[in-house]
Amino acid sequence: DAGVTQSPTHLIKTRGQQVTLRCSPKSGHDTVSWYQQALGQGPQFIFQYYEEEERQRGNFPDRFSGHQYPNYSSELNVNALLLGDSALYLCASSLRGVVAVPNTGELFFGEGSRLTVL
Amino acid sequence: QKEVEQDPGPLSVPEGAIVSLNCTYSNSAFQYFMWYRQYSRKGPELLMYTYSSGNKEDGRFTAQVDKSSKYISLFIRDSQPSDSATYLCAMSHTGGGNKLTFGTGTQLKVEL
């Protein structure tokens, strides 16, 4: 049973560039969320996708956008990169957008994509 | 002030010790409380989940929630070197979907 897979695992960009990160959810899951984890910090919620629509959004600017495909996979796009965007970007999946309900809504995280902006 | 406060450590204990990890929070709407473990260069994995107040035990791990004090704890008994990791508390409110609010994480090292 494949867990949450993310690509690429590492990437380096320069300021002003654009980046696309990809995520495949755990088998059977239909909801994908993205989190940003800066060094030494806890993850911060960016947004959540369910049924190919953004359902919730955290306190992130419009430079951060996403997409969910019919197969439930998802992309995170960041435009006009800033040095402060350097972080580990985590994808998490769950079933039916329900969090923290034992055995049904558990949130599974991938290993992340580490972005460095120079 | 952050919604969730967590002592970042690092915390170093000898093998076999009882470890106590804590978080405080300010948002009284939080109803779901979780502890995640994150090994270096890995994604967080769910350790414990608690709804509302009370205690929950799973093997060597015990999670406690005191909503009146807005305080949650994770206890690890008979700590092992394999427990060395960063422990993140996280919480959510009803209807919050997958929007979890995390603490900064406490780095734990269990030494032989």
Range A25-37 average pLDDT: 93
Q: Which of B32, B97, B102 sits opposite A42 (nearest CB)?
A: B102
The percentage of residues in chain B with a pLDDT greater than 90, rounded to a whole number, is: 71
Chain-chain contact of A90 with B43 (C-beta, under 8 angstroms): yes
Residue B51 banded pLDDT, cuts 50, 70, 90? confident
Q: Which residues pair with B71 in a beta bridge?
A: B24, B66
Mutation site for A-interface testing, chosen from B42, B98, B99, B104 by largest number of A Cβ within 10 Å: B98
B92 contacts in A (CB within 8 Å)?
A: 99-100
Q: Does residue B45 belong to the interface with chain A, where contact is any CB pair within 8 Å?
A: yes
pLDDT tens-digit profile of B74-102? Answer: 999 999 999 999 999 999 887 666 789 99
DSSP string, A50-84: ETTEEEEE-S--TTEEEEE-TTS-EEEEE-S--GG
Q: Is B83 helix (H, G, I), strand (E, B) or coil?
A: helix
Residue A1 confidence (pLDDT) = 63
Range B56-81 average pLDDT: 95
A interface with B, Cβ–Cβ below 8 Å: 4, 31, 33, 40-45, 48, 55-56, 58, 90, 92, 94, 97-100, 102, 106-112
- Exposure b/e, A27-63, CB count within 10 A at least 16 = b: eebbbbbbbbbeeebbbbbbbbbbeeeebbebeeeee
Chain-chain contact of B92 with A102 (C-beta, under 8 angstroms): no
The larger pLDDT score, comparing residue A94 to residue A87, is at: A87
Residue A104 confidence (pLDDT) = 39
Residue A39 confidence (pLDDT) = 92
For chains A and B, CB pairs below 8 A equal: 75
Residue B52 confidence (pLDDT) = 80
Q: Is A7 helix (H, G, I), strand (E, B) or coil?
A: strand
A90 contacts in B (CB within 8 Å)?
A: 43-44
Q: Which two tokens stand for residue B86?
A: 């960063």
Range A45-61 average pLDDT: 92
For chain B, the average pLDDT equals: 92
